[in-house]
Structure 1
């Protein structure tokens, strides 16, 4: 989405850095407040005033540059009112980029003034809709046929499908750390895969054996062994990228957990195991008479809360006694 790096490689760096930023902040948020964790669509920076929203400002600037770049190649189409076939994809790219533009602009307005209070999940769904439209563009508007270009774009569709699904799941389960961290990891994978596509297009030495550079710079492979080998290499690269992101996330969590909080997760596990044992004990005691259960629950309540009033204690004993008399009769 920029102009410093070659095509697709610039988008790869942008999405990769954004995903890395979200992974680190999500891990940090979970380690510091595991019980109060809640997903975030964007993360503020510890800077004064509007610089706190640096992430949104950067996204807004990049999207504006991207739209201007795409439209600069289609000025003749705009002036004539007829979109040429070679420029249709540019207009498609601008369409889903506008969703990201709306996301960043609405987020800034909502955070810096009170004229646009947003319910939970609205901004996140806008961000997800941008990726959903990008998925539709890749699926219906990009290079049909059994080619290497279509094959690598199919992997991008898989990434976008899972990314959009996880983003909507975050709205349904906002406190799920697993869903949030998986979404952030997919943002990184989207960036690394874009970068891989950029390498195939812009680096001649990356052309697979038996293939040649095509009209748009993308390798063209003859049907047969050369095409199968080129596809297999891309599957290998995709798997290595996934593995590297998973291992990197584990390492980042271990380092943050070690140097920031000194291991609070162990205490959480102990609490969960202890509470689970209490639940199991109650479930195994289902055959105990109801009077014994009431009396035991009353004793547990008294032991936990020593501030129970004598009047409340007397009323509870009277209720137990009346229930006992009813059963006896």
Structure 2
């Protein structure tokens, strides 16, 4: 069983990183398509370089705070019972393991970029990030907390989105010059963040489907009809989020191409328009 805050906090982190990744990918491509390279993280320009590593610091600090909440606050420091891990907080331990992986990714990336102790190529950093997403995927797929009914369906869709993050991140290491791969990774991370928010509002907030209720820390849909309606609503919500993100990406690309577009991008569009008119 989760909570609104427990989904909103990681959702915020994934959403911020995903939106920034999409915007940076589009900007780098329209600015110079020939020199485009996949990036697992994107520096923040301007401000005399003071915010260059802001994304990595956001990942490190955000993951660390969430890790402390899961491992220290949620467990009340009751790690062991009768010499074994506290079975009442196994989900907190699992969440902590996932967050630790993202924390490690952020630290490794900072060490690689800012020091000479761990110089790693971008492809290797992609694989480190993919490992963190794999840990998240395995966590939610083999969760000790049994997600049943409507709650289980929402978490199944979340697992699918995490799988897309894994695939697109690995593809970034294998295809280091592919703009579609880099953009797909940003879209997948954005959708994951949005789906965390959608889950929070639907299961633990004001958008709970008719016929279902949150009672005794459980989402229950007494009738088969209410369960089916809830799952169909989840399908529609995911479709709406995918559609909205794709529209936003198309609008952003059009804006950036018109304002910062390289001549090669304009020539490509002109050639495509010529083929379409023939």
| TM-score normalised per structure 1 | 0.76
Q: Contact 1:31/1:257 (CA < 8 Å) preserved in 2?
A: yes
Q: Contact 1:6/1:202 (CA < 8 Å) preserved in 2?
A: no
Q: Could you tell me how far apart the structure 2 residues matched to 1:142 and 1:211 are?
A: 24
Alignment-derived partner of residue 179 in structure 2: 177
Structure 2 unpaired stretches of 5+: none
User: How many angstroms does 1:239 deviate by?
Assistant: 0.5
Q: Could you tell me how far apart the structure 1 residues matched to 2:176 and 2:240 are?
A: 30
SS in 2 for 1:219: strand
Alignment-derived partner of residue 76 in structure 1: 78
Asked whether 1:93 is paired with 2:92, we answer: no
Asked whether 1:246 is paired with 2:212, we answer: no
Which runs of structure 2 are paired with 1:258-277 in the superposition (5 Å)? 258-261=258-261, 264-268=264-268
Alignment-derived partner of residue 236 in structure 2: 236
SS in 1 for 2:55: helix
Alignment-derived partner of residue 18 in structure 1: 17
Alignment deviations for residues 102-155 of structure 1 (CA, whole Å, 9 cap, x no partner): 111111112112121113411111111111111111111155465001000000
Of 102, 111, 115 in structure 1, the residue corresponding to residue 113 of structure 2 is 111
User: How many angstroms does 1:57 deviate by?
Assistant: 1.1
- Which of 1 and 2 has greater Rg? 1
Alignment-derived partner of residue 65 in structure 1: 65
Higher RCO by CA contacts (8 Å cutoff, separation 6 or greater):
2
Q: Could you tell me how far apart the structure 2 residues matched to 1:263 and 1:235 are?
A: 41
Q: Quick one: structure 1 residues 68 and 262, their matched pair in 2 at CA, closer, same or farther if it must change by over 3 Å? A: same
Asked whether 1:160 is paired with 2:157, we answer: no
Q: Quick one: structure 1 residues 8 and 52, their matched pair in 2 at CA, closer, same or farther if it must change by over 3 Å? A: same
User: How many angstroms does 1:62 deviate by?
Assistant: 0.8
Q: Could you tell me how far apart the structure 1 residues matched to 2:191 and 2:60 are?
A: 22
Alignment deviations for residues 59-114 of structure 1 (CA, whole Å, 9 cap, x no partner): 11111111111112221125864322221011111112111111111111121121
Structure 1 unpaired stretches of 5+: 275-329
User: How many angstroms does 1:38 deviate by?
Assistant: 0.6
Which runs of structure 2 are paired with 1:121-270 in the superposition (5 Å)? 121-141=123-143, 143-144=145-146, 146-203=148-205, 205-216=206-217, 219-261=219-261, 264-268=264-268
Q: Quick one: structure 1 residues 79 and 269, their matched pair in 2 at CA, closer, same or farther if it must change by over 3 Å? A: same
Q: Quick one: structure 1 residues 32 and 58, their matched pair in 2 at CA, closer, same or farther if it must change by over 3 Å? A: same
Q: Could you tell me how far apart the structure 2 residues matched to 1:69 and 1:18 are?
A: 20
| TM-score normalised per structure 2 | 0.89
User: How many angstroms does 1:201 deviate by?
Assistant: 3.6
